[in-house]
């Protein structure tokens, strides 16, 4: 397996005093599971909600809370960190940081740190909307610090509004984004993902087992590496990565239309969708009655990748070939016939490489030959696919 992009990266996590502090414990655990080194600094009020011992146990490092008991910690810790994360960030700390006040471990460490900073506000919606808080957030953003905006929902105080700290996975994604080389910066990537549904009547359709996980991982990794990403997606149950422009479709005709509409200016098309290859020829506008035997005639669906490769100005095209068996020759044929730049082959009958799992085992085929890769996460497959693109485009 490829190591996580956070392996051995040092995250300095500042925890401030709001009820969302309990999520900081989960954040530490997730960062550690990605093999990051995590050190925590806490404000005094945050320790009223959660003890340093909790975060010490989870991070495996001593938590620093007092500027006087360790006079040099606020200099030494930031010096060894790659990234400074403030989660949750209260209105109080945001105000202090925006105006340069440095009277506790978190504010001092912030001023002594020279790298990228992420802050995740968490507070009551009226406080978040307050013009003073908004002005302070703007000051921090204008200075280049990155806000992970709070979410809308039920707040700890029982009210509803915007102010709930961003989900831990969003923070982890932002951490990865900050620590990833932006080698796709300036590129427009169109990822097409998921299955399509081809209707027999208003309530029944033909589809396939695609979960969309491969395409969504590609979109997430492209965003992380700095690309501008549009995701055309068939019906799936996974969440799209924040930052992607998402166009939802159902049928292969809708998918083709969405691709045509969004192809202008695209540098790379990644066609990871499992387009249902068959469309019912005689759609019934009324629900078909059961009991009667009938024959369903099918016609081929439009070939989306071929339609793009036939265009006068066409992007770089990456296609997929999901086969039942080690039939690489089929993938080679598709590469030629559909005019792709390279094709990603996978045998869906192998353990861990089929539908709806988080891993895949792929071979990448281009005019120069075949490169085989071991079983790895779909995110790591995505990294390899974009690395391959970068080598090609040189
Ligand atoms: O279905 P097949 O194995 O031929 O698909 C190979 C590639 O062509 C995939 O990248 C798939 O997304 C794409 N495709 C398409 N339009 C279709 C069927 C497949 O663009 N109707």
Q: Is 332 in the pocket of ligand 1 (CB under 6 A)?
A: no
Q: Ligand 1 test: best mutation among 190, 271, 309, 318, most atoms within 8 Å of CB? A: 271
pLDDT per position in the chain (394 positions), as tens? 556 678 889 999 999 999 999 999 999 999 999 999 999 999 999 999 999 999 999 999 999 998 887 878 888 888 999 999 999 999 999 999 999 999 999 999 999 999 999 999 999 999 999 999 999 999 999 999 999 999 999 888 888 999 999 999 999 999 999 999 999 999 999 999 999 999 999 999 999 999 999 999 999 999 999 999 999 999 999 999 989 999 999 999 999 999 999 999 999 999 999 999 999 998 999 999 888 788 999 999 999 999 999 999 999 999 999 989 988 999 999 999 999 999 999 999 998 887 888 999 999 999 999 999 999 999 999 999 999 999 988 7
Using the atom order of ligand 1, give the atom closest to the CA of residue 306: 20
Q: How far apart are CA 181 and CA 226, in angstroms?
A: 8
Going from the Cα of 206 to the center of ligand 1, the distance in angstroms, rounded, reads: 16
Report pLDDT for 1: 53
Report pLDDT for 356: 83
Q: Is 200 in the pocket of ligand 1 (CB under 6 A)?
A: no
Output the six-digit token pair for 190. 């169109």
Supply the CATH classification number for the domain 10-178.
Answer: 3.40.50.1950
Q: Ligand 1 test: best mutation among 320, 324, 332, most atoms within 8 Å of CB? A: 320
Report pLDDT for 147: 98
Looking only at the bridges linking them, the beta strands covering 117-121 and 228-233 are unpaired
Domain boundaries along the sequence of the chain:
10-178, 188-393
Report pLDDT for 2: 58
Going from the Cα of 180 to the center of ligand 1, the distance in angstroms, rounded, reads: 31
Q: Is 273 in the pocket of ligand 1 (CB under 6 A)?
A: yes
Q: How far apart are CA 378 and CA 278, in angstroms?
A: 27
Maximum pairwise Cα distance, the chain: 84
Q: How far apart are CA 358 and CA 368, in angstroms?
A: 29
Looking only at the bridges linking them, the beta strands covering 146-147 and 117-121 are parallel
Domains 10-178 and 188-393 share a fold: yes
161: left (phi over 0), alpha (psi -120 to 50) or beta: left
CB count, 10 Å around CB of 177? 21
Residue 58, SS3 per DSSP: helix
User: What interhelical angle do 91-99 and 105-112 show, nearest 10?
Assistant: 40
Q: Is 342 in the pocket of ligand 1 (CB under 6 A)?
A: no
Burial 262-293 (b: 16+ CB within 10 A, else e): bbeebbbbbbbbbbbeebbeeeeeeeeeeeee
Report pLDDT for 155: 87
Contact (Cβ atoms closer than 8 angstroms) between residue 336 and residue 318 = no
Using the atom order of ligand 1, give the atom closest to the CA of residue 320: 10
Is 144 exposed, middle or buried (CB count within 10 Å of its CB: 0-12, 13-18, 19+)?
A: exposed
Residue 86, SS3 per DSSP: strand
Report pLDDT for 37: 97
Q: Is 315 in the pocket of ligand 1 (CB under 6 A)?
A: no
Q: Which neighbouring-strand residues pair with 5? A: none
Nearest CA to ligand 1 atom 21: 303
How many whole angstroms from its chain centre is CA 120?
Answer: 17
For the question of residue 157 being annotated catalytic, the response is yes
Supply the CATH classification number for the domain 188-393.
Answer: 3.40.50.10300
């Amino acid at each position: 397996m490829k190591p996580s992009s956070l392996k051995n990266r040092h995250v300095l996590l500042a925890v401030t005093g709001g009820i969302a502090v309990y999520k900081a414990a989960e954040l530490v655990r997730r960062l550690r599971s990605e093999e990051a080194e995590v050190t925590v600094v806490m404000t005094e009020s945050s320790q009223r909600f959660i003890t340093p011992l909790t975060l010490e146990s989870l991070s495996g490092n001593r938590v620093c809370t007092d500027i006087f008991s360790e006079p040099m910690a606020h200099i030494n810790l930031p010096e060894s960190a790659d990234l400074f994360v403030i989660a949750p960030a209260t209105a109080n700390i945001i105000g202090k940081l925006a105006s340069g006040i440095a009277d506790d471990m978190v504010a001092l460490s912030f001023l002594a740190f020279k790298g990228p900073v992420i802050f995740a506000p968490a507070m009551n919606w009226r406080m978040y909307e307050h013009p003073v808080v908004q002005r302070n957030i703007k000051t921090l953003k204008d200075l280049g610090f990155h806000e992970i905006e709070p979410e809308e929902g039920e707040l700890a105080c029982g009210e509803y509004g915007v102010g709930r700290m961003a989900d831990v996975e969003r923070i982890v994604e932002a951490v990865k984004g900050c620590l990833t080389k932006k080698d796709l910066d300036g590129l427009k990537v169109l990822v097409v993902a998921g299955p399509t549904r081809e209707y027999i009547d208003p309530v029944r359709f033909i589809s396939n087992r695609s979960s969309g996980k491969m395409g969504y991982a590609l979109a997430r990794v492209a965003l992380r590496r700095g690309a501008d990403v549009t995701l055309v997606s068939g019906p799936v149950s996974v969440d799209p990565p924040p930052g992607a422009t998402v166009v939802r479709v159902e049928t292969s005709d809708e998918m083709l239309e969405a691709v045509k509409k969004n192809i202008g200016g695209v540098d790379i098309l990644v066609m990871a969708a499992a387009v249902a290859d068959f469309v019912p020829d005689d759609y019934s506008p009324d629900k078909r009655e059961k009991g009667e035997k009938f024959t369903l005639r099918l016609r081929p669906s439009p070939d989306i990748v071929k339609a793009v490769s036939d265009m006068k100005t066409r992007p770089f095209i990456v296609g997929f070939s999901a086969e039942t068996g080690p039939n690489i020759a089929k993938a080679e044929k598709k590469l030629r016939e559909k005019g792709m730049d390279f094709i990603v082959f996978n045998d869906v009958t192998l353990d861990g490489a089929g539908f709806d799992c988080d891993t895949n085992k792929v071979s990448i085929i281009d005019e120069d030959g075949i490169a085989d890769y071991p079983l790895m996460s779909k995110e790591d497959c995505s990294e390899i696919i974009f690395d391959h693109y970068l080598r090609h485009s040189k």
